[in-house]
Structure 1
Amino acid sequence: MKRTSLSLALASVFAVPMTGFAQSGSTGESEVSTADRIQVIGSRLSLRTATESSAPVDIITGEELLAAGFTETGRALQYAIPSYNFPTSSITDGSDAVRPASLRGLSPDHTLVLINGKRRHTSALVHLNGTTGRGSSNADLNAIPISAIKRIEVLRDGAAAQYGSDAIAGVINIVLRDQTEGGHFGVSYGQTYQGDGEQIKLQGSLGINLFDQGGLTLSFEYQDRNRTNRAGLDPRQQYPLLEDGSLDPREEEFNRRSHHVGDAEYTNSSLFFNTFYQLEHGELYGFGGWSARTTESGAFYRRALDERNLIEVYPDGFLPILQPDVNDASVAAGYRFDLGDWHADASVVYGESEFIYNVKNTLNASLGPDSPTEFNAGTLVADEFTANFEISRSYPFANYSELSVALGTSYRRNSYKIIAGEEESYLDGGFEDRPAGSQGFTGFSPDSEIRQSRDNIGVFAEVENQLTDQFRWGAALRFEDYSDFGSHTSWKLSGRYDVTDQLAFRATTNTGFRAPSVQQLYFTNISTLFVNRDGELVPEQSGTFNNVSAVARELEIGNLQPEESRSLSVGAVWNGDNGLSVSVDAFQIQIDDRIILSSSLIPSDSEAVASALAAAGADNARFFVNAVDTTTRGIDVVVAQQYDLGAWGRLRAQAAYGYNETEIDRITVPEILGGLESRLFDNVERTRMTESVPRHTGSLSFNHQLNAWTTHLGFTYFGDYTLENNQGLRTTFSGKWITDLSFQYQVSERLTAKFGAQNLFDVYPDKQRPENQFNGIFLYPNTNAPFGFNGGYYYAELRYRF
């Protein structure tokens, strides 16, 4: 069958979620005990607890996510799993609204996110500034409300052979609430010790019985948060000198805390649903959600004497405010049924992310004093449609065992759009040779507009067998064919041997891949910037050029190819009779042809670069390119113990430790750019890839229940990390311990009250070296702070169950 015909045929079939209501029947909310925690991720063929799996899996219940009072899903997950990194950034454009996150120290786009076992679409935003995962796009976990989550399963192992592209570092599967009656409503309020960052959150869920044949769960959240600000005072001269050469008297009255360095102000609303309905021969199911977020974060302050300012508009200067609207929606529907001796599952999923750049309190200086002060600077849109069909059954096998078999096929289509902003946001009006474009974020011009898509077809087979009482093995094979770069095949082998009822060893080995995202393939942002050349401001055509642009063709960049990985994981598990469980897993992940966003190339770099830029009419350019091979090694340790303290209640203690280290094995560039390795991938980016994430992370938590009281005490360690600036200055920030404490009281059968503190002892990161503080304004690292720089935060919460 021709590929186009196969694409059309598969577009009409459905996919299979492997979780959701696979264990339906819950009539309300209940905390799942360690022994009963059913693990689904990592195997389509078995339901096991986390310690019985062949690969390392963390399972976090919804109650555990709420234990420390975190209001963001990404932040709550970071404190629950040491190998998950969710750093804080500020003054990083769109990344202030959608933050990057990573697993095992790899890139954000090396982790696949699922909801109810189905692939989640990624954000339309591309991280372009100095954050973790520069040049990547990731799924926005904060678009998924904690109130909708029943549990989160985190597979810390490569799984591209099972789930497709992106699952190099692991898989995060979010299982939605599935109650058929009852629900809850909660309200919380908190603020930092310094009195800013005030936030209120309303959240709840409702379970509805559907004629005793199914259920519908609705979950919602509304969150409103004020900004935090940890900027230092700006000591610089703000106003032009007077005619006699003296300082303007307004210098004495100027508010020197002119910058905003901290969490963005934002409002976020979300609504999710999860449903199923039993029919005579099968089960219908569906899930999905919507979220809308508006944030406000600052850019760099434009002083009154700055040429980017017009004193007729802002006599005291101005702080441009980025105010993006981030909209996210998804829906899935499917049918689960028997097909002869086979169990069949079919579904379709659609998701869309929209990122609208709005800028206010700004101007386009080239338009003169009549410039608008608010702009729509353009919109990014990414959407994804997926259709899968899967069947599974068991066959008699050796030693009177059974061989479980799963077969499936999938079709996926990804699209990406860049919509130009309003004309004033990018126009050069020519006023006094002032810089063009909206200050803070220059709008997307029509030259940047693009509407592109790509599709792929995949087929897979997975087998699993309990060969003996002690030995279990599994294998998976997946083939995918993409419309842009071709095909790829990946495989996985896993095994587990139970030495005794308490001790087991496990291992996996696999190959994987990550297809270049449509964002990396087609993102373009071209703008006219005024650059100081020998004391004179000259306009330059600058920006990010995609790989189908004239610049990329002239430099023979070529089409982006998939990143390819080889992974190995070995570990041991101990389950004691006294409630003690221990798991230790070591891993190695080798990735070839990692995609990076290059530094900007300029004509002086080489004759070839000068010729290519001239032919394309550009003055400098950066682009995405396969350029780096890396090896990441690490170890994860989890120890948990349950205690029955008799009259003193019950205690659950858990200690976790994660270590990861990434090394660069090789840097390769197109032949025409030979000798420019240090320009394409400079020391700043090398340090960001290998040292900007703590190599050592750990946690120690205690949950104690006594009568109506529940106490949570958590200690989290974020190890040292290193950043480097463009002048070659390296700064290492020391590791810190963060303490969280909360108390919950069961006021009545339905009402609970909680109060507590995050970062109880008001710990801050090390301050930056004076050379990196930008005149004392950036006191703390503003791009990669693993636990932020807000200090302590206290809160209170009321929760009502019905």
Structure 2
Amino acid sequence: MNKNKVLLALASVGAFSSSAAVAQQQEGAEVQAEERIQVIGSRLSMRTATDGTAPVDIISAEELSASGITETARALQYAVPSFNFPSSSITDGSDAVRPASLRGLSPDHTLVLVNGKRRHMSALVHLNGTTGRGSSNVDLNAIPISAIKRIEVLRDGAAALYGSDAIAGVINIVLKDQDEGGSLTANAGQTYEGDGEQYKLHGSTGFELGDNGHFTVAAEYHHKNKTNRAGLDPRQQYPLVDGELDPREATFDRLNHHVGDAEFENAAVFVNAAMQVGEGEFYAFGGVSDRSSQSGAFSRRALDNRNIIEIYPDGFLPLLSPETQDVSGYVGYRFEHSGWDVDASVGYGESEFQYRVENSLNASIGPSSQTEFDAGTLTTDELNVTLDFQRFFPFVNNSDLAVAFGVSYRENSYQIDAGEPASYINGGYQGRPAGSQGFTGFKPESEVDESRDNTGFYVEVENMLTADFQWGAAMRYEDYSDFGSNTSWKLSGRYDLNDQWALRATANTGFRAPSVQQLYFSNISTLFVDRGNGLQPEQSGTFNNISDVARALGVDGLEPEESQSFSAGLVFNGYEGFTLTIDAYQIAIDDRIILSGDLSPADSPAVAEALAMSGADNARFFVNAVDTTTQGIDIVAAQEFNLDSLGSLRAQLAYGYNKTEIDDVNLPELLGGLEENLFDGVERTRMTRSVPRNNGSVVFTHSLGDLQSRVAFNYFGDYVLENNQGVQTEFSGKWTTDISARYQLNEQMIVSAGVQNLFDVYPDKQRPASQFNGIFMYPNTNAPFGFNGGYYYAEFTYNF
């Protein structure tokens, strides 16, 4: 943590502010009626979950843990159908920090808050074939489930409320705030195949802090072994012996690839505290998480020139073993002054992603090469200083007008530190490829230490003009040090037709500033690309927009993405505990930032000249290139049944549909005619069809005395992937079934058990041509529910 930044923030806390903080006071079904919950998206108090002008999902801690899912992002995926968290394998760092998205848009189109305050992003940039290629996202799995009281998901554009990134919506994670008692939970399970064994120990406890204050701490230790669904490698492994196959071919273990979930170990601690100080409330929250993971790259055969047979006589599987650390902390003070509710806060967050490569070598060094490498470190940090004001004023028709305004200051920094020399140098041995196999280290030319800052001002008003009509308006101005300013607005309204039926609608503009990762990431690494003659190594360069290569090709600096969003919804609240919401939306985004396809010297003389001195065989860039429109509909229905002596039953249906279409492609003038290279069919398909258009779930929860059981049917719709030869493969939609039971032994002890994917459902297999000799049987970059098959678990909880 940069101490100077923290001292500056503390000294400036009265001078700056952030985007609008969490707002709506609301009663939730999962809490007692008298407890008021703050919910994102509205400033009016005493509302219910279906009373807002935009759709908000509220997922309690009990719902998150009910299925036995141990990862926060995965649990959220099964709770909110419009949230996508696909599995990936052999995608470098993305195996450790997987991308997640909302409403089929990019991972960086969703803003994540913790206790209503902005959360920092991961330092990792997704490069290799995953959903959201070229983006970075918040690592939700760095926040342990044991620290979470509930999660609120605003499914609506909210840049005018919260600033950059909130194009698809906002996820607000509310931390536990207990002042006594606690719980400790142990969880263990494995897949039907007998791998993927995992165990997790987590819990939380609270203490009184002063008068009416609390200090809550939550911790987690989570270990998971890898899963592997690779096919056997049928290829020749060893050089010929006197023109004949080496006898070792008959005994070689042909399960030499790792295609599945990474092995990982994660430890995290989060705290949340508040206490009365003077006439106001001092609060603080934050946490630390540390994760080490390990996944495989492509296996190197003994006969491969990327292998040194004196080191690995049978070939080797390079292992990527990154170390990921996240640190965050906020402190603030809430008080009343002259009738205004004031909230001043300062927060800092940092993500560090250290690339480590094991069981590898640098073939260009020869037999003396080391086998483990420090390949470099990515670091991003974010400083937020905020000051918010809010109060109610008498308004027409005896109503109150909620008025909020504030100012914010944010600074983002990005650093790349080069790996050790052995991870990238060319040692000249027999013309062998340079760099650590599996992941080539960052070279000194890729090192960067840059930052940018922005200041934002906002004003919001909201009003219940009558008992039936609610309206709101917001405007936000942001000024960035690197590209200028942006102004966003939002209008919202809701009209209650009667006690049961209501209409709601919103219209807003939004923006997403290019991330510092996209502005400054740069690297030259060895990638294996299929150009029609099998996988071949290429020195692939990702060049940032301030590089000489980008300037030579006329690639301009990045500009913000801008959006226009509209939504309209119908709400029904029945007298018998039935609720229904139907919300349709359209999100048009101009100048979406993409990571381009590869340009090679053969494409044009200009490209050949630009690459001549770079040391790369091809080049790719971040460019504002694509205009898209996304349309969709979300449906959520729930019904409570009183079964008298048979207990109670809650049924819930959730369905989400979205479709993204490309409206226009705009590329730098000097690169005209190279559209297919910069934005080819692979990237078009990834942007529009790699995420299922249809997702849904039907969940039944039954309670009878001390026994609670749950059955969930989850649907993941069809999706399409395309390979480098332009061949598209459609993967059909699948249903998975989860069952679980929970029994309260006494006031302190609870036992649970369950099965996820009860019927052992797998995705469709890839076309033979895409299976790489039968090794990659399942899609390894965008599988919506993974390809591990069934999983069973048991859990024990002790409450105190």
TM-score by length of 2: 0.96
Per-residue deviation at 1:633? 0.1
CA separation of 1:215 and 1:422: change in aligned 2, threshold 3 A: same
1:402 partnered with 2:430: no
CA distance in 2, matches of 1:323, 1:508: 45
Partner of 2:147: 148
Code of the residue aligned with 2:443 in structure 1: it is: S
Query: What do residues 702-733 of structure 1 show as CA deviations (whole Å, max 9, x unaligned)?
Result: 11110110001101000000000001111000
CA separation of 1:48 and 1:306: change in aligned 2, threshold 3 A: same
Partner of 2:724: 726
1:299 partnered with 2:297: yes
Partner of 2:713: 715
Partner of 1:179: 178
Code of the residue aligned with 1:556 in structure 2: it is: G
Q: How does 1:293-692 map to 2 (within 5 A)?
A: 293-527=291-525, 542-614=540-612, 618-692=616-690
Code of the residue aligned with 2:215 in structure 1: it is: L
Give ranges in structure 2 of 5+ residues lacking alignment: 1-7
Code of the residue aligned with 1:444 in structure 2: it is: F
Instruction: Assess if the C-alpha contact under 8 Å between 1:363 and 1:439 holds in 2.
Output: yes
Partner of 2:253: 255
CA separation of 1:741 and 1:427: change in aligned 2, threshold 3 A: same
CA distance in 2, matches of 1:255, 1:115: 47
CA distance in 1, matches of 2:773, 2:756: 31
Code of the residue aligned with 2:105 in structure 1: it is: L
Partner of 2:4: none
Code of the residue aligned with 1:783 in structure 2: it is: T
Partner of 1:164: 163
Instruction: Assess if the C-alpha contact under 8 Å between 2:232 and 2:775 holds in 1.
Output: yes
CA separation of 1:213 and 1:22: change in aligned 2, threshold 3 A: farther
Instruction: Assess if the C-alpha contact under 8 Å between 2:22 and 2:41 holds in 1.
Output: no
Instruction: Assess if the C-alpha contact under 8 Å between 1:13 and 1:346 holds in 2.
Output: no
Instruction: Assess if the C-alpha contact under 8 Å between 2:365 and 2:426 holds in 1.
Output: yes
CA distance in 1, matches of 2:22, 2:327: 18
CA distance in 1, matches of 2:352, 2:610: 33
Give the fraction of aligned pairs with identical amino acids, expressed as a percent.
Answer: 67
CA distance in 1, matches of 2:214, 2:107: 35
CA distance in 1, matches of 2:527, 2:678: 21
Q: What SS does the aligned partner of 2:641 have? A: strand
CA distance in 2, matches of 1:532, 1:62: 45
Instruction: Assess if the C-alpha contact under 8 Å between 1:359 and 1:440 holds in 2.
Output: yes
RMSD over aligned Cα, in angstroms?
Answer: 2.3
CA distance in 1, matches of 2:665, 2:46: 42
Q: How does 1:97-136 map to 2 (within 5 A)?
A: 97-136=96-135
Once structures 1 and 2 are overlaid, which stretch shifts more, 698-707 or 609-618?
609-618
Per-residue deviation at 1:773? 0.5
Per-residue deviation at 1:533? 12
Partner of 1:3: none
Q: After TM superposition, which residue ranges in structure 1, 4 or more long, deviate above 3 angstroms?
A: 6-24, 33-39, 44-47, 527-535, 537-542, 614-619
Partner of 1:42: 41
Per-residue deviation at 1:469? 1.1
Instruction: Assess if the C-alpha contact under 8 Å between 2:358 and 2:371 holds in 1.
Output: yes
Q: What SS does the aligned partner of 1:585 have? A: strand
Instruction: Assess if the C-alpha contact under 8 Å between 2:751 and 2:797 holds in 1.
Output: yes
Code of the residue aligned with 1:364 in structure 2: it is: N
Per-residue deviation at 1:529? 7.7
CA separation of 1:631 and 1:534: change in aligned 2, threshold 3 A: closer
Per-residue deviation at 1:775? 0.2
Query: What do residues 226-261 of structure 1 show as CA deviations (whole Å, max 9, x unaligned)?
Result: 110000000000000002x11000000000110000
Instruction: Assess if the C-alpha contact under 8 Å between 1:17 and 1:345 holds in 2.
Output: no
CA separation of 1:674 and 1:609: change in aligned 2, threshold 3 A: same
Per-residue deviation at 1:614? 3.2
Q: What SS does the aligned partner of 1:51 have? A: coil
Instruction: Assess if the C-alpha contact under 8 Å between 1:32 and 1:61 holds in 2.
Output: no
Partner of 2:58: 59
Per-residue deviation at 1:644? 1.4
CA separation of 1:798 and 1:8: change in aligned 2, threshold 3 A: closer
Once structures 1 and 2 are overlaid, which stretch shifts more, 214-223 or 14-23?
14-23
Q: How does 1:187-206 map to 2 (within 5 A)?
A: 187-206=186-205
CA distance in 1, matches of 2:616, 2:429: 23
CA separation of 1:259 and 1:629: change in aligned 2, threshold 3 A: same
Query: What do residues 549-579 of structure 1 show as CA deviations (whole Å, max 9, x unaligned)?
Result: 0011111111100000000000010011110
Code of the residue aligned with 1:321 in structure 2: it is: L
Partner of 1:91: 90
CA distance in 2, matches of 1:389, 1:722: 46
CA separation of 1:533 and 1:388: change in aligned 2, threshold 3 A: closer
Instruction: Assess if the C-alpha contact under 8 Å between 1:18 and 1:116 holds in 2.
Output: no
Per-residue deviation at 1:280? 2.9
Q: What SS does the aligned partner of 2:612 have? A: helix
Query: What do residues 398-457 of structure 1 show as CA deviations (whole Å, max 9, x unaligned)?
Result: 112111100000000000000001110001100001000000000001011000000000
Instruction: Assess if the C-alpha contact under 8 Å between 1:16 and 1:334 holds in 2.
Output: no
Instruction: Assess if the C-alpha contact under 8 Å between 1:7 and 1:411 holds in 2.
Output: no
Instruction: Assess if the C-alpha contact under 8 Å between 1:447 and 1:526 holds in 2.
Output: no
CA separation of 1:576 and 1:164: change in aligned 2, threshold 3 A: same
Instruction: Assess if the C-alpha contact under 8 Å between 2:327 and 2:351 holds in 1.
Output: yes
Per-residue deviation at 1:15? 4.8
Q: What SS does the aligned partner of 1:287 have? A: strand
Partner of 2:738: 740
Instruction: Assess if the C-alpha contact under 8 Å between 1:114 and 1:172 holds in 2.
Output: yes
Once structures 1 and 2 are overlaid, which stretch shifts more, 212-221 or 72-81?
212-221
Instruction: Assess if the C-alpha contact under 8 Å between 2:24 and 2:47 holds in 1.
Output: no
Code of the residue aligned with 2:159 in structure 1: it is: A
CA separation of 1:451 and 1:236: change in aligned 2, threshold 3 A: same
